[in-house]
């Protein structure tokens, strides 16, 4: 068994310990078991601590039936080691985990929502709450109530309690298992629940609690939030975006949302006008392509490479050409900048040609996927400098 110093003092950043066991790993790393440790192992929704044993990085920590195993980048060579936590990582976890307790208590008190899931990752922190819906008004109320707890700077305490003594505590949630001793984390008058994680000493150290978003997920509401240092970074990023848009649109920050709506409206209008212009251009382009196409017996052979066209535009143009008369249409488009290429091969029913066969040969030259019938085939993939060569070969092979 390893003596768990993080249960005695979450703020202990360094310690000295004796090595009890070394476990060689296949990748050259080592599993180190100490007689005592301040490194928190992953568990209960909280990631493990990282840091150093002497100068050897600790990259992972887990609990193996009471023994805490430290995965190190190399094998220690001494009988005792000096452990040092990555304190920035540990304190961040303390802020997020304590903030989770506050927010969970608030959702329970205000709306009767029970926390049934908790995730603390490097990018996201969220809880899953048993509510059917969550309105913006409710989220704002929960956020304010949570920050009121932060501003009150209430003491946060933890203690191990015998399983039989839990009746004397008002628990937000019951222990998942019937352990002989249960560690309770409490915040005066706000929350008390079983938890094995690391926490701040007072609610004021959590810092700002900010709800960022929420969504319906697996029968509950998933609430994404950040606390403390993460909340400050979130504010910095959002503030920078708002400030940049304010300068770009020449409006005060408070008027950015209204300006964004105006820009969106303009964009929708311009997009509609662009689509109408593209449709009109397609008509003229189809007429020109049909008129300039080679005449073979009673049909036209229209072949064109149109670099800027999308797959949808090639399809529309092919249909427009075929609508003008009996024809074979071989079109290709591609962009090195976008790393894309497209083919559309089509012909009027009854024409003695196989578009699917031609496309298969073209894709073999340029790469990509696609398929179709004898009358219509399309496909594409990444950019290839062989697009125009493939189109020329398809043209020469169309009736073979």
Task: Tell whether 253 is covered by a domain.
Answer: no
Is residue 133 domain-shared with residue 187, that is, in the same domain?
yes
321 neighbors 348 (Cβ within 8 angstroms): no
The SS3 assignment for 229 reads: helix
Domain at 108, CATH number? 3.30.980.10
Is residue 31 domain-shared with residue 56, that is, in the same domain?
yes
Across 34-62, average pLDDT? 95
pLDDT attached to residue 166: 83
Residue-wise pLDDT tens digits, 230-261: 999 999 999 999 999 999 999 999 999 999 99
Is residue 353 domain-shared with residue 294, that is, in the same domain?
yes
pLDDT attached to residue 58: 97
Is the pLDDT confidence value at 57 over 90?
yes
pLDDT attached to residue 69: 97
% of the chain residues with pLDDT over 70: 100
Is the four-CA dihedral 80, 84, 89, 91 of positive or negative sign?
positive
Is residue 233 domain-shared with residue 115, that is, in the same domain?
yes
d(CA 264, CA 270): 10
% of the chain residues with pLDDT over 90: 81
d(CA 277, CA 283): 10
Nearest CA-CA partner of 248 in 227, 234, 262: 262
- 151 burial (CB, 10 Å; 0-12 / 13-18 / 19+) is exposed
pLDDT attached to residue 389: 94
pLDDT attached to residue 45: 86
pLDDT attached to residue 178: 66
Is residue 100 domain-shared with residue 233, that is, in the same domain?
yes
pLDDT attached to residue 147: 98
Is residue 96 domain-shared with residue 186, that is, in the same domain?
yes
Residue-wise pLDDT tens digits, 262-287: 999 999 999 999 988 888 888 888 89
Across 140-166, average pLDDT? 93
Across 181-190, average pLDDT? 91
Is residue 30 domain-shared with residue 168, that is, in the same domain?
no
Is residue 145 domain-shared with residue 59, that is, in the same domain?
no
Is the pLDDT confidence value at 130 over 90?
yes
Task: Tell whether 369 is covered by a domain.
Answer: yes
Across 43-71, average pLDDT? 94
**Token duo for residue 44:** 């209960």
Across 174-189, average pLDDT? 83
Q: Is-above-0.85 flag for pTM?
A: no
Is residue 225 domain-shared with residue 356, that is, in the same domain?
no
Arithmetic mean of pLDDT over the chain: 93
Is residue 16 domain-shared with residue 121, that is, in the same domain?
no
Task: Tell whether 314 is covered by a domain.
Answer: yes
Show which of 29, 55, 85 is a domain's final residue: 85
**Token duo for residue 351:** 């024409």
Domain at 346, CATH number? 3.10.310.40
Number of other CB atoms surrounding residue 142 within 10 Å: 25
172 neighbors 191 (Cβ within 8 angstroms): yes
Is the pLDDT confidence value at 75 over 90?
yes
Number of other CB atoms surrounding residue 88 within 10 Å: 9
Is residue 80 domain-shared with residue 213, that is, in the same domain?
no
Task: Tell whether 274 is covered by a domain.
Answer: no
Domain at 73, CATH number? 2.40.30.130
Is the pLDDT confidence value at 13 over 90?
yes
Residue-wise pLDDT tens digits, 292-322: 999 988 899 999 999 888 898 899 999 999 9
Task: Tell whether 271 is covered by a domain.
Answer: no
Is the pLDDT confidence value at 326 over 70?
yes
Q: Which domain holds residue 139?
A: 91-241
Is the pLDDT confidence value at 59 over 80?
yes
Report how many domains make up the chain. Answer: 3
Across 378-398, average pLDDT? 93
């Amino acid at each position: 068994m390893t003596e768990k110093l993080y249960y005695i003092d979450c703020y202990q950043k360094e310690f000295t310990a004796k090595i009890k066991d070394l476990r060689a790993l296949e990748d050259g790393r080592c599993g180190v078991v100490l007689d005592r440790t301040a490194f928190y192992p992953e568990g209960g929704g909280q990631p493990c601590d990282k840091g150093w044993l002497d100068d050897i990085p600790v990259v992972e920590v887990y609990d193996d039936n009471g023994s805490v195993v430290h995965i190190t980048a190399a094998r220690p060579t001494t009988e005792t080691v000096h452990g040092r936590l990555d304190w920035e990582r540990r304190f961040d976890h303390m802020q997020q985990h304590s903030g989770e307790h506050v927010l969970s208590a608030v959702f329970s008190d205000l709306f009767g929502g029970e926390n049934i899931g908790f995730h603390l990752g490097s990018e996201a922190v969220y809880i899953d709450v048993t509510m059917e819906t969550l309105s913006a008004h409710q989220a704002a109320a929960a956020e304010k109530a949570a920050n009121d707890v932060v501003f009150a700077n209430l003491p946060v305490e933890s203690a191990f309690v015998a399983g039989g003594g839990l009746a004397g505590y008002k628990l937000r949630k019951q222990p998942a298992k019937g352990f002989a001793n249960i560690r309770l984390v409490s915040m005066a008058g706000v929350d008390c629940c079983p938890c094995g994680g690391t926490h701040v000493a007072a609610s004021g150290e959590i810092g700002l609690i900010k709800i960022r978003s929420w969504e319906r997920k697996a029968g509950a509401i998933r609430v994404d939030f950040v606390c403390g240092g993460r909340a400050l970074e979130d504010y910095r990023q959002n503030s920078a975006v708002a400030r940049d848009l304010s300068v770009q649109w020449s409006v005060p920050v408070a008027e950015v949302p209204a300006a964004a709506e105006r820009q969106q409206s303009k964009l929708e209008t311009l997009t509609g006008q662009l689509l109408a212009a593209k449709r009109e251009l397609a008509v003229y382009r189809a007429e020109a392509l049909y008129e300039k196409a080679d005449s073979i017996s009673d049909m036209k052979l229209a072949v064109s490479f149109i670099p800027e066209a999308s797959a949808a535009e090639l399809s529309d143009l092919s249909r427009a050409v075929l609508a003008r008369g009996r024809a074979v249409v071989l079109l290709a488009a591609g962009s090195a900048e976008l790393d894309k290429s497209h083919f559309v091969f089509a012909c009027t029913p009854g024409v003695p040609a196989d578009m699917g066969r031609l496309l298969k040969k073209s894709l073999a030259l340029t790469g990509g996927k696609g398929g179709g019938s004898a009358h219509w085939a399309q496909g594409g993939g990444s950019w290839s400098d062989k697009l125009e060569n493939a189109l020329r070969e398809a043209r020469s092979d169309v009736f073979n």
